[in-house]
Structure 1
Amino acid sequence: MKTFTKTAFLIAGICSTTLTFGQQYNSYNDRYNSDRYDSRDQRRSDRQNDRYRDNMIDERREYNRRNEEFPRYENRYQGRIGDNRMFDERDLSRAYDEGFEDGQRSQEVSERQEQRQNYKHFTFGIYGGANSTRFEGETVDGKNLTGRLGYQLGFLVRGGGRIYGQVGAEYLTSSSEFYRAGDGQAGNVSELIGNIDQRYLHVPAYVGVKLAQSDRGVSGIRLALGAEYATPLGTDKNDFNLGNADFQAATINGLVNLGFDAGPIMLDFVYHHGFADVLTSGNSKRRILGVNLGFKF
């Protein structure tokens, strides 16, 4: 019985020892295999990375070689898009150029819109100046035509862009030299010549064009044609005894205006051409040349 018991314990010890060594061996094999396979995967990944890098270098060299060998528009680098159609660099270049042109047009449209928004379409102004007046055919003892000085004050309203319209009103004084034939007696000539001072209300209207202008239209060079309604306001006492009843109640004059704008300052040269006689009798069509200096806001 004792012998059997000893034998059983011996067998159990041998089995336990064998099991322990087997577990350690399996654990070592697992670690060895794991390390071996990890190292193998790393080497495989390194080789793939090396091949990828080499391929990229080869493709870059080929791209540079083709660019040096062929013009830009002759390259044949092709790719695919959604519908499997092929395209080359000329298509890309054309698309780029078209996109650039569209962008330029859009920018130009935006700039024009901004200029229109910032453009000063309406101008109000006041002015004053001097004028020289004569009558058509006015002579003194066969001498050349002469004129006399006067002045004018007025205001204007101008609206529009490069093509514009303008209306206003002005108070104008003019002094014209009259001649009346005498009776031929000695010492009587001086009594046949005299000046008549008149006061008029003018209502001018123009249509003009700006020959040159700034972006906002504040400064520029203008040329305008128009007409004005003229009515006399009064006549000073004169040697010819002419009064308001001797002048036409209203006449129409043609206008030519050359103007310069420098910011808020205006300089205008105006020619008034009378189409009708201002006197009820006799040749008395007025010719007036004026210059005005004004301010606009």
Structure 2
Amino acid sequence: MKTLTKTAFLVAGICSTTLSFGQQYNSYDDRYNNDRSDRYDSRDQRRYERSNDRDRNNVIDERRDYNRRNEDYPRYDNRYQDRIGDNQRFDERDLSRAYDEGFEDGQRSQVVSERQEHRQNYKHFTFGLYGGLNSTRFEGETVDTKNLTGRLGYQLGFFVRGGGRIYGQIGAEYLASSSQFFKPGDGQVGGVGDITSNIDQRYLHIPAYIGVKVAQSDRGVSGIRIALGAEYGTPLSTDNNDFNLGNADFQAATVNGLVNLGFDAGPIMLDFVYHHGFADVLTSGNSKRRILGVNLGFKF
């Protein structure tokens, strides 16, 4: 019985000792875990704060570098301020402005491309041939409208035209004209009476124009033209006539003013031309010519 009692006390002592050591160990473990958790929490917090400081300093340094490189464009600086406080996002006004500027740049580029294409496709140089009829009279002369057939002549020519809406043109023209001359008699009975007759002549004209297309197609092939110019004229031959006039009786060179109204329909053209003589064609007498012509031609 005494042995059983001793054994029971011994087992109880061992259990109490074990429980005491277990409780002490658990308290040490709790303190260790709490101290360790506190140390690691404070360490993580400091590391996070240092990381945020570095990121903020990097963004600020980036902004400063950007400002130094782009001093002429201060309106974009607020983008970097927004990046610091708004998860590195740009302001909507900047995005809208950038979109508008990009759209305007695209529009300007499109206009430039269209102009360049138009210049490349525009027909700047034209060569043409033409022919037509003309009627000639002298300054101050009264024309008999019932007898116009005796005054009709013709012309043939070619030209080279260059330019755009404003253009220049030069060419050469062979013109045959029929001019009516009048020579009064001596007034004596049986003497020389009045003489009225036509004289047929051939002239070489060198016309030059400066004109404008008041309306035109995209390539300039069709349009309406108005031009002013001048021409150099010299007689080539004179037919026999009742006045016995020859080339020696006419001025070797004259200058005429020109007014031209033209219509282009593709390769076909129609022109009305007025020639205004500034000098007498005869060495003596009032003989400034006025010529009205109409031409039909083709251009290439």
Give the TM-score normalised by the residue count of structure 2. 0.66
Query: How many residues are aligned here?
Result: 218
Partner SS for 1:111:
helix
2:279 match: secondary structure: strand
Question: Which deviations, in whole Å up to 9, do the C-alpha atoms of 1:54-112 show, x marking residues without a partner?
Answer: xxxxxxxxxxxxxxxxxxxxxxxxx9559978744333223222211111110010010
2:186–2:193 Cα contact (<8 Å) kept: no
- Answering whether residue 280 of structure 2 is matched by residue 277 of structure 1, we say yes
Asked whether the 8 Å contact 1:208–1:222 carries over to 2, the reply is: yes
* Residues 119 and 81 (structure 1), Cα distance of their counterparts in 2 relative to 1, 3 Å cut: farther
Q: Match for 2:173 among 163, 170, 183?
A: 170
1:276 aligned counterpart, secondary structure: coil
The answer to whether structure 1 residue 229 and structure 2 residue 232 are counterparts is yes
Residues 227 and 253 in structure 1, CA contact (< 8 A), matched pair in contact too: yes
Runs of at least 5 residues in structure 2 that lack an aligned partner in the other structure: 1-80
Label 1:119 to 1:188 Cα distance change in 2 as closer, same or farther (>3 A): farther
Output the amino acid matched with 2:111.
Answer: E
| Secondary structure at 2:120 match in 1 | helix
Partner of 2:290 in structure 1?
287
Q: Aligned in 2, Cα 1:107/1:291: closer, same or farther, shift over 3 Å?
A: same
Deviation at 1:138, TM superposition (A): 2.0
Instruction: Give the equivalent residue in structure 1 for 2:130.
Output: 127
- In structure 2, the residue matched to 1:253 is 256
What are the within-5 Å matches in structure 2 for residues 197-212 of structure 1? 197-212=200-215
Cα distance change on mapping 1:91 and 1:266 into 2, 3 Å: same
Code of the residue aligned with 1:166 in structure 2: it is Q
Residue 120 of structure 2 corresponds to which residue in structure 1? Answer: 117
TM-score (norm 1): 0.67
Question: Which letter maps to 1:272?
Answer: H
Write the distance in 1 (CA, Å) between the matches of 2:126 and 2:85.
60
SS in 1 for 2:278: strand
Contact 2:281 2:287 in 1 (8 A): yes
2:114 maps to amino acid: E
- Superposed structure 1 runs of 4+ greater than 2 Å apart: 79-95, 183-191
Q: Is residue 153 from structure 1 mapped to residue 156 from structure 2 by the alignment?
A: yes
Aligned-residue sequence identity (percent) comes to: 82
Distance 1:89 1:275, change over 3 A: same
Structure 1 residues 188, 91: CA separation in 2 closer, same or farther (over 3 Å shift)? farther
- Residue 296 of structure 1 is matched in structure 2 by 299
Change (3 A) 1:95 1:157: same
**What residue is the counterpart of 2:218 in the other structure?**
215
- In structure 2, how many angstroms separate the alpha carbons of the residues matched to 1:103 and 1:186? 92
What value does the CA root-mean-square deviation take over the aligned residues? Answer: 2.9
Question: What is the rounded CA distance, in whole Å, between the counterparts of 1:193 and 1:248 in structure 2?
Answer: 21
The 5-angstrom pairing of residues 10-159 of structure 1 reads 80-81=82-83, 87-139=90-142, 148-159=151-162
* Distance in 2, Cα, partners of 1:131 & 1:190: 30
Question: d(CA) in 1 for partners of 2:293 and 2:202?
Answer: 15
